[in-house]
Amino acid sequence: MDERDYERLLSIATAGNQQGFTDSLHHNRYEPTPYELLDKLFQHYSLSPGDRLVDVGSGKGRLNFYIHHLFGVESAGIEMNPAFYAEAIENKKQYFKKHKRDEQSIQFYNCLAQDYPVAASDNKFYFFNPFSVQLFITFINRVLRSAETDPRTVEVILFFASQDYSDFLENSTAFQLVEEIPLPDFDKDIRERFLIYRLPKMD
């Protein structure tokens, strides 16, 4: 299916990139992951009942609705832009008007990532290059503290990530790279891939 087909299927409107630049040196502009690439990711990677995925920099909520439709799992979206957050809330209304399920299974938070209260049920984290490595480190450290308090296996999914993200995970944490999913343009830009990192449950 193309972008429009997916939008009609899910009864949402998430197309379009953020115009111009952000006001912050640490935050990158919004751009939704193309549905075509989400299809490729989830041909190799699946979610299970009991998983709760957090989309860090969720924009209008595309990934949250996509995985709910595909797997029925719970998710959260963190978005600092109030306009995009408002669109995500409207998309949630339209999605659940068509898909009669528990509306609490998708939650959106209008806040900075570093202010998000990492929940004990959060075990998957998705990043489409939302911000600088400094903020990434701050957020991952919060995830690590949560995993110490409430032991669980945690996975991080990176798309189009800077090398700094991978360097931090591999050299400064116990996260291990468990899967790499190259995409069609990988030969032109090595960032065109999904990387899956796993933090084993701490004993």
Average pLDDT over residues 72-100: 96
| pLDDT tens-place string over residues 22-54 | 455 556 678 899 999 999 999 999 999 999 999
Q: pLDDT value at position 27?
A: 60
Q: How does DSSP assign 75-130, residue by residue?
A: EEEE---HHHHHHHHHHHHHHHHHS-S-GGGEEEE-S-GGG----TT--EEEESS-
Alpha-carbon span 91 to 101, nearest angstrom: 14
Average pLDDT over residues 9-20: 78
pLDDT above 70 (res 69): yes
Contact 85, 115 (CB under 8 A): no
Query: Nearest 5 degrees, angle CA 76-CA 126-CA 121?
Result: 45
Q: Which of 12-26, 136-150, 157-171, 172-186 has the lowest mean pLDDT?
A: 12-26
Structure-token pair, residue 45:
């990677």
CB neighbour burial string for 132-169, b if at least 16 within 10 angstroms, e if fewer: bbebbbebbebbbebbeeeeeebbbbbbbbeeebbebb
Residue 186's pLDDT band, with cuts at 50, 70 and 90, is: confident
Share of the chain above pLDDT 70, in %: 94
All structural domains of the chain with their residue ranges: 59-199
Q: pLDDT value at position 190?
A: 83
Average pLDDT over residues 131-143: 96
Residue 167's pLDDT band, with cuts at 50, 70 and 90, is: very high
Topology of the domain covering 59-199: Rossmann fold (3.40.50)
